[in-house]
Structure 1
Amino acid sequence: MIEELLFEAESEGIEVRNHSFKNPKIKGLYVDGVITLNKSILETTAEKKCILAEEMGHHHTAYGNILNQSHIVSKKQELLGRKWAFHRLVPLNSFISAFQTGIRNRFEFAEHLGVTEVFLDSAIAYYLG
């Protein structure tokens, strides 16, 4: 649930804000202990949860300004934030519990985890490596 992530962020001293960015491609940013989520893009709680988790991943794994994705170091740090989010929202044991629960397709699995299908697909691709 997104409330768990918000509580976790608060307990770690991370402030979470909502803001309308002029650039709709920016869904979230992490800077110096503050996560800002683009409120004009977040269509679902699942999408907000995925973006929040990735930005929390940047809090735990990134350093410096990684906005310029033309630098390989920035790309690697972006990926570290995503990996953190994958492990947090789609842990490996969730595949087993989903099977045991009777979940048989990715839509049901994404809904069960409270993530978007796009995020789930990315997590599966990451795990399959």
Structure 2
Amino acid sequence: MTQYEKMVATAQTYGIEVYELDEFRGRSGFYSDNVIMLNKDLTDKEKYCIMFEELGHHFTTVGDISDQTKIENRKQEVIARRWSYEKIIGIVDLINAHNNGCKSKYEVAEYLNVTEELLEEVLGYYKCKYPDYFQIDNYYLIFNNGLEVIEKIQFTYK
């Protein structure tokens, strides 16, 4: 079962139906009233990434926000995307990619089974959220020029 197929199964546990459409008027995905619609022509990896954003709409937005000229709708769009960013690529996921030898953005994206475009968006989000750095356990994550993970050396005294 692919990551995308697992996401479809997860969505169904929340009562959300998922449909893939042949003709989707230039869109990648859309959520409304417990239904996620995806462009059938996308790769499984792309559908997997888009599923998170559409689930973000399910869990965070209220009403029809399709008119993005309205400030309130744009705010709800940002909230849904931020929700999806933290769910699809958490800080620990980035550390795990580092610990598994991933050096380039391509390698990190492949390791996490996401598109490089989504990885860029997520790293940009974390850069805004943690402008200097983020520390967890022995790790410092710096998002200035993409991603840099530094492992702090632990000293033991005898």
Question: Identity of counterpart residues, as a percentage?
Answer: 38
| Counterpart for residue 103 of structure 1 | 102
- CA 1:105–1:97 in 2, change beyond 3 Å: closer, same or farther? same
Q: Aligned partners of 1:38 and 1:98: how far apart in 2?
A: 29
CA–CA distance in 1 between the matches of 2:123 and 2:98? 15
Asked whether the equivalents of residues 19 and 37 of structure 2 are also in contact (C-alpha less than 8 Å), the reply is yes
Residue correspondence of structure 1 range 8-87 to structure 2 within 5 A: 8-24=10-26, 26-40=27-41, 42=42, 44-87=43-86
Distance apart, 1:22 and its partner CA: 4.7
Superposed CA RMSD in Å reads 1.1
Task: Quote the residue 2:141 is aligned against.
Answer: none
Amino acid paired to 1:96: I
**Aligned structure 1 segments of 4 or more residues deviating by more than 2 angstroms:** none
Structure 2, unaligned runs of 5 or more? 129-158
The whole-number CA distance in structure 2 between the counterparts of 1:98 and 1:116 is 14
Q: Residue 29 of structure 1 aligns to a residue in which SS? A: strand
> So what's the TM-score if we normalise by structure 2?
0.76
Q: Tell me how far 1:5 sits from its aligned partner.
A: 1.2
CA distance in 2, matches of 1:109, 1:125: 15
Task: Kindly tell me the number of residue pairs found equivalent between the two proteins.
Answer: 126
What letter matches 1:9 in structure 2?
A
Using CA pairs below 8 Å that are at least 6 residues apart, which structure has the higher relative contact order? 1
- Partner of 1:35: helix, strand, or coil? strand
Residues 31-66 of structure 1 deviation map (CA, whole Å, 9 limit, x = unaligned) = 1000011113x1x21111111111011000011111
Question: One-letter code of the match for 2:90?
Answer: P
The TM-score, its normalising length taken from structure 1, stands at: 0.92
Q: Say if 2:24 and 2:39, in contact at 8 Å, map to a contact too.
A: no
Point out the structure with the larger strand share: 2
- Output the amino acid matched with 1:113: L
Stretches of structure 1 lacking an aligned partner (at least 5 in a row): none
Name the CA distance, whole Å, in 1 between partners of 2:23 and 2:91.
34
Q: Secondary structure, in 3 states, of the residue corresponding to 2:20?
A: strand
Match of 2:125 in 1: 126
Structure with bigger gyration radius:
2
Closer, same or farther in 2 for the Cα pair 1:20/1:57, shift >3 Å? same
SS at match of 1:64: coil
Give the Cα separation in 1 of the matches to 2:106 and 2:46: 14
